[in-house]
Structure formats: C-alpha cells, structure tokens
Amino acid sequence: MSTFFVNRNRVDVSSDVAPDTPLLWILRDSLKLTGTKYGCGLGLCGACTVLIEGKPARSCQVPLSSIRLGTDVTTIEGLATREARAVQAAWQKLDVPQCGYCQSGQVISAASLLAGNRRPSDADIDRAMAGNICRCATYVRIRAAIKEAAATLG
C-alpha cells in the first residue's frame, strides 16, 4: 500500500494498483480530480502540472512507485496560496483562457514562479513557463497576467 496526500486528503493506494500508473491517471481516473489535464504523456506540454511538496512537477511523469510515503500533492482543485489566488484573479481580469485546456497547468506554474520571485522579468517568465504549451497561444496574456498578479501581491 502506498499512502500520500492530495490536497491534504489522505490517499491510500492498494498494492495491487500497477506501480507504473502515472500520478496523472490516479488523480484523473481514480480520484476524479479532472482539473489536471492530459496533453502529451511525455513531460512535454505541462498540462498535467501539479505541485509535489510545493514544487511544480509533471504528473504524467510520476509513477505511483516513485511517490514516497506521506508526499504532499496539490492539484488545481486544492491550490489556495496567496500567489495562486492572485494569479487566478489576474487570469480572469485579463481573460487569459481561450479553450482553457492548458490553463490549470499554466496557473500552477505561474503561482509557483511568483511564490519564489515577486518581480519576475520577461526572461524569468520565459524560463518558468516555457514548459507549458498553449496551443491557443494565450502567451501574450499569460505574460501580462503574471505581471498583473505580481503587482497585486505588492
């Protein structure tokens, strides 16, 4: 059995669940936390980004067997930091999403950027966000909304 926490809820995974099952599919298919999206399955697009111990990670690349006892996982459904709220408010103020499918991942990446850097430069934003593909190319607004969120965080 493996035990970890998702959005502060304890999750016990029975030992007969295949150890190679990616965290992404545990979240989506077993826990029905569908805010975390599948986009590529290879760690290339960032749609599946969650926080593991507070750090952004691609959940499609995290097999169950690698999740250590007691690990804290935060998904878009459980994201509640000040930075996250500022990012989500800025996202709505600037109407960032188009189709929206990539945006859970974008929001998580942006919130973790701001958690470590309250005044990100364009280069900082590029570095933190280049792993998150948006096929609707909402990048102009993602950049502006990160700056807007940074301003509201003071």
Partner 1 sequence: MHRNRMEVTRRAFLKVVGAAGGGLTLAIGILPAAALAAAANRVAGAGAAAAPAFAPNAFLTIARDSSVTVIVKHVEVGQGTYTGLPTLVADELDAAWSQVRVEGAPADAKLYHNLLWGPMQGTGGSTSLAEAFDQYRAAGAAARAMLVAAAAARWRVPADTIEVRNGIVSHGTKKATFGELAADAAKQPLPASPAVKDPKRFVYIGTHVPRTDSKVKSTGTAIYTQDIHLQGMLTAVVARAPRFGAQVKSIDAAALKGLPGIRFVVEVPHGVAVVGNSFWDAKKGRDALKVTWDDASGFRYSSSDILAEFRRQIAAPGTIARSEGDAAKALAGAARKLDAEFEFPYLAHAAMEPMNCVVRYDGDRAEVWNGEQFQTADQAAIAKVLGIAPEKVAIHQLFGGGSFGRRANPHSDYVVEAATIVKGLAVQGQRGVPVKLVWTREDDMHAGYYRPASLHSMHAGLDAAGSLVAWQHRIVTQSILAGSPFAAMVANGVDPTSVEGAADIGYAIPNLAVDLHSPEIAVPVQWWRSVGHTHTAFAVETFIDEAAQAAGKDPVEFRKALLAHQPRQLAALTLAADKAGWAKPLAPGATGTKRGRGVAVHKSFNTAVAEIAEVTVAADGSFKVDRVVCAVECGLAVNPDIVRAQMEGGIGYGLAAALFGEITIKDGAPVQSNFNDYRVLRINEMPAVEVHIVPSAAKPTGVGEPGVPPIAPAVANAIAMAGGRRLRRLPLTLAA
Contact letters (x/-) for partner 1, 34-53, by CB under 8 A? xxxxxxxxx-xx-x------
Q: Under rule CB under 8 A, which residues in 18-37 are in contact with partner 1?
A: 18, 21-22, 25-26, 28-32, 34-37
Going 119 to 80 to 71 to 63, the CA torsion angle's sign is negative
Determine the Cα angle at 45 with ends 151 and 61, to 5°.
110
Using the rule CB under 8 A, is 142 a contact of partner 1? yes
Please identify, using beta-carbon distances, which residue of 52 and 107 lies nearer to partner 1: 107
Strands 72-74 and 2-6: parallel
Interface map 2-31 toward ligand FES (x if CB under 6 A)? ------------------------------
The span from the CA of 120 to the CA of 117, in Å, is: 6
Across 49-137, the runs of DSSP E, i.e. the strands, are: 49-52, 55-58, 72-74
Interface residue with ligand FES, options 2, 88, 103, 112 (CB under 6 A): 103
Task: Indicate whether 135 belongs to the interface with ligand FES (CB under 6 A).
Answer: yes
Q: What whole-number distance in Å separates Cα of residue 139 and Cα of residue 132?
A: 10
Strand 49-52 versus strand 72-74 pairing type? antiparallel
Based on CB atoms, which residue is closest to ligand FES, 13 or 136?
Answer: 136
**Residue type present at position 32:** K
Q: Using CB under 8 A, list all residues that contact partner 1.
A: 5-6, 8-14, 16-18, 21-22, 25-26, 28-32, 34-42, 44-45, 47, 75-77, 88, 91-92, 95-104, 107, 125-126, 129-130, 132-143
